[in-house]
Amino acid sequence: MNLDPMYVAVDVGAGLGAKIGLFTGPLTQVGEGILPREEFADDFDDFVARLLDKIKQLVRQHGRRINEMRAIGIASPGLFRSDGSYLLAANLPFLNDRNLRARLADETGVPTMIENDANAGGLAEWSILRTDLLYWVFGGGWGGVWIDKEGNVKFPALDWEGDDRKLHYTNEPGYAIPLDKLMLKTLFYQYGASFDRFEQIVVEDVGLPNGKLTGPGGDPNTIRAETILSGPGRCRLFRAVVGDDDFHTRFLYIREKKQMSNPSVAGKHISKLSSMRVEPAVNTDRLFGRILAEATLTIFKQARKDGLREDLPICLGGKPSYALPYFGPSAQSRIGAAGIMSYLRPSVIDERGFNANLVGAAVLAEQTAARQSAAS
């Protein structure tokens, strides 16, 4: 009989479907499966049934039964209540107000826990570094988490009722952190760009009804940090820096030129231009880094009283973070000048080629099994 402890990790992705991993430890994956998005309807019961089938199939392939699993960990986009139910799953609305954690636990008899996917990514980083850290993931927005040295998520956004003031800046930083418009106008000017032009670009792309960006709590004098500090934000920042000058286009292939107005794919072309020292791209990344530094200092100003160390690593995940060599120096320079010794570094998980969400879900499963064992 195989007595190795095994854990099931589930990554509920909004686009491609759900990935399933079988682990004997957080960094030891022995199997993987996928439930493609097209294989389930926008129906909670159908999703659960098909997900369970995929999990059981993967477990059987390794000569085990589902009730032999030590625990199940789930990483998922969204906001959650304390009981594990979804408070908001913006890109998977059929999950709203449903409790996937409780349902899988009931169906399998296996202890199950769920976490926001950015929090799971932070747990994955912690599983290697084993120290307290900040983990930031840049994509369509800016997610983040503070993990303490024991592997606990600090200040999770549980049971959030919509009051921006109750969000801790270390968790949901892109949504919660305000960036002052006057400060931004000054910084934009220093890099030869117009904040007003940037605001116009965002308003036109997103289709804001009032024609103006607002910050947390609807503040007209600020914007949410992820408006700039995200994949789409960096691309729109480039368009604001470039203005009407098309000089940079001579360094791009025809296909790349056509993609420059698409925030989801233009980032890699901006990095190409930065690596070639094309001035608008270089200035874009310097400005991006400087604004990231100001947001970072805002985080430390709030969280210092909560015990956030000022020399801990800040691990960056997500595709936009691949541009760290270009925006990192200006960010690190400003952070260091303010006396903060924390340093920006690429995700350790990404460097090793792991799936951060799956590894984080495996860490969550192992922690859940350990707590269950200690309580029994």
pLDDT in tens, 61-82: 988 888 889 999 999 999 999 9
Q: Computed from CA positions of residues 242, 246, 250, 256, in that sequence, does the dihedral angle turn out positive or negative? A: positive
26-38: b or e for each residue (b if 16 or more CB lie within 10 Å)?
beebebebbbeee
Return the pLDDT at 372. Answer: 85
Whether 126 shows a pLDDT value over 60: the answer reads yes
Return the pLDDT at 360. Answer: 96
Using an 8 Å Cβ cutoff, are 261 and 269 in contact? no
Q: Mind listing the pLDDT tens digit for each residue in 303-350?
A: 999 999 999 999 999 887 889 999 999 999 999 999 999 999 999 999
Whether 280 shows a pLDDT value over 90: the answer reads no
Q: How far apart are the first and last CA of the chain?
A: 24
Q: Mind listing the pLDDT tens digit for each residue in 205-239?
A: 888 777 789 999 999 999 999 999 999 999 899 88
- Which positions ≥6 away from 43 have C-beta within 8 Å? 94
Mean pLDDT of the chain: 91
DSSP-derived letter for residue 112 is E
E-strand stretches of 117-258: 133-138, 142-147, 153-154, 178-180, 222-224
Whether 1 shows a pLDDT value over 70: the answer reads no
Bigger pLDDT: 298 vs 280: 298
User: Six-digit token pair at 224?
Assistant: 């949410």
Share of the chain above pLDDT 90, in %: 71
CATH superfamily for domain 7-129+353-375: ATPase, nucleotide binding domain (3.30.420.40)
The pLDDT of 175-198, averaged and rounded, is: 95
Name the residue ranges covered by the structural domains of the chain. Answer: 7-129+353-375, 177-341
The pLDDT of 274-285, averaged and rounded, is: 91
The pLDDT of 288-302, averaged and rounded, is: 97
143 Rama class: left (phi>0) / alpha (psi -120 to 50) / beta: beta
The pLDDT of 42-67, averaged and rounded, is: 92
